[in-house]
Amino acid sequence: MSERRRYDASGRERQAALTRRHIATTAVEQFVAQGYATTTVASVAKAAGVSAQTVYNGFGTKSALLKEGYDVLMAGDGDAVPLVDRPEVRALYADPDPVAFLHGYARLGRSLLDRLGPLAMQIAAGALAGDPDLVELRATTDRERLVGTGMVVGRLVELGALSPALDADAARDRLWTLNSVEVWHLLTATRGWTGEQYEEWIGDAMCSSVVRAVLLR
């Protein structure tokens, strides 16, 4: 293959990736503004400036489009590096102070919810209403979050910081609940807390819930 053809192919691939991301972010805007049930592939296509067939060819189903939009917000950028392998997350897990570690985890959680919280609430509401697509997606995202929370607890165990009153599963479930989108929504949207207030409280609540009391003095 000539250099020109390789260049053209890579250029087309980059453009296709940009178009795909644009469609996914446009879909997120519509899902948040209108709700999942009301949003159609046709309305997403129109807003994104592409044909409905382009959306179907790229994603297959509306639920797949929703999941990709969720993943785009989770990443926060176009970088293909998994969240756990990013420098800021590696630095977080390298912190030997369990209190600082959990407050750093609270900061990371807040940044994620600032991006994807409104969409996650749409998913939660739709799942509660019994929409089969959203029931499945909510179950998937809950499992993914549970795995991530388990890694956090694993680090606390490594540091010898876990409360002796808890086993790893109980500690994981406590942190998983505290970091839920429902808690975030209640405090920020319903009660009007700032992001900073939410982050500080979540960090303190996680520490008092799972860390050895002697380390909190």
Domain boundaries in the chain? 1-80, 81-217
CA distance linking residue 103 with residue 83, whole number of Å: 18
In one-letter notation, the amino acid at residue 108 is L
* Burial class of residue 79, CB neighbours in 10 A (0-12, 13-18, 19+): exposed
Q: Are 126 and 134 in contact (CB under 8 A)?
A: yes
* Burial class of residue 85, CB neighbours in 10 A (0-12, 13-18, 19+): exposed
| Beta pairing partners, 162 | 211
Q: What is the pLDDT of residues 131-159, one digit of tens each?
A: 998 999 999 999 999 999 999 999 999 99
- Quick one: CATH architecture of 1-80? Orthogonal Bundle (1.10)
Same fold, 1-80 and 81-217: yes
Other Cβ atoms within 10 Å of 119 Cβ, number: 22
List, in sequence order, the alpha helices (H) in the chain. 3-34, 41-48, 52-59, 62-75, 87-94, 98-128, 132-158, 168-178, 181-185, 195-210
Six-digit token string for 182: 């429902």
- Quick one: CATH architecture of 81-217? Orthogonal Bundle (1.10)
Q: Are 119 and 28 in contact (CB under 8 A)?
A: yes
Which is nearest to 124 in space by CA: 41, 194, 205, 31?
31
Q: pLDDT 10s per residue in the chain (217 long)?
A: 555 555 556 777 888 888 999 999 999 999 999 999 899 999 999 999 999 999 999 999 998 999 999 988 887 765 656 677 788 888 899 999 999 999 999 999 999 999 999 999 999 999 999 999 899 999 999 999 999 999 999 999 999 999 999 999 999 999 999 999 999 999 999 999 999 999 999 999 999 999 998 778 6
Which is nearest to 119 in space by CA: 80, 77, 66, 82?
66
Q: From the centroid of its chain, how far is CA 112?
A: 5
Q: Are 75 and 37 in contact (CB under 8 A)?
A: no
